Chains A and B, each alone.
Chain A
C-alpha cells in the first residue's frame, strides 16, 4: 500500500519560513505528479501546488505564487514545499497527495501536517 508521510509543520511568525517534506514509499515515485493540498481551520480543501514526475514542471495556486516553491528529490522519494513570507491565512493542515495519470485526481493522501502562522 502506498505510504505518504508529511513532516515539517509547526508554528511560524508572519513573514517567516517553513519547509514541509513528504516521504513516499511503495510506488515508483518518479513516475507520478505529486501535489500539496491544504485545509484551513473550518474551511474546505484547497489545492496548493503540483510538480511533474521529473520535477521539470511546477504549478501553483495564485495565492502562493512567488512565496512557495515545490520540489522533489526522486533519489530520496521525497516531496518538498518551501514556504516563505508566510501569512496568517496560510494556517492550515497541509496534505501531500499522489496523483494518478490524470491531473487533479489524487488517489493517495498523507495524514497531513499542521502549519500555524501567528504573531
Chain B
C-alpha cells in the first residue's frame, strides 16, 4: 500500500482538462511544499513535470499545473493531447526518517 493515495485511473478526451489528486498526511504532503509530479511512459525513464507543488521545469508545457490544499496535492492537465497518455506519480518529502514517499500512480487514458 502506497503512502500517498492517487486514483488508479482517469480519462479525458483531447482538449479537455483532467485533475489527478494525491492525498497524504500532515507528515508529508501537508507538512512540506515539496510535492513533485512525474510522467512515466512505459519502458522509458520517468520525467519530472512539476516540483515544489506548482513549479514547471524548463520545457514542460504550461498545460501542466500543480496545486496543494492541506494534505492533498493536485495535478491538472488542460488541453489534453494524445501524447499525455501515461502514468502519473506524485511524491512528497516526508522528513528525515521516512524521507520520500510516492503515490501509487494514476493511469491517464486519452479517449
Contacts and interface: CB of A to CB of B under 8 A. Distances in A.
Give the interface SS of chain B, mostly helix, strand, loop or mixed.
Answer: strand
Given A107-B57, A112-B45, A102 B93 contact: yes
A52 B111 CA distance: 43
Contacts, number: 68
Given A104-B91, A106-B36, A47 B100 contact: yes
B30 interface: no
Interface in B50-67: 51-52, 57
Give the interface SS of chain A, mostly helix, strand, loop or mixed.
Answer: strand
B105 A104 contact: no
Interface in A62-119: 95, 97, 100, 102-107, 109-112
Given A104-B93, A107-B48, A110-B45, A44 B2 contact: yes
A105 B52 contact: yes
Interface residues of B, number: 27
A45 B89 contact: yes
A36 to B, nearest CB: 11
Interface size class of chain A, counting residues whose CB lies under 8 Å from the partner chain:
20 to 34
Interface string B81-110: 000000101011110100111111100000
Interface of B: 2, 34, 36, 38, 40, 44-48, 51-52, 57, 87, 89, 91-94, 96, 99-105
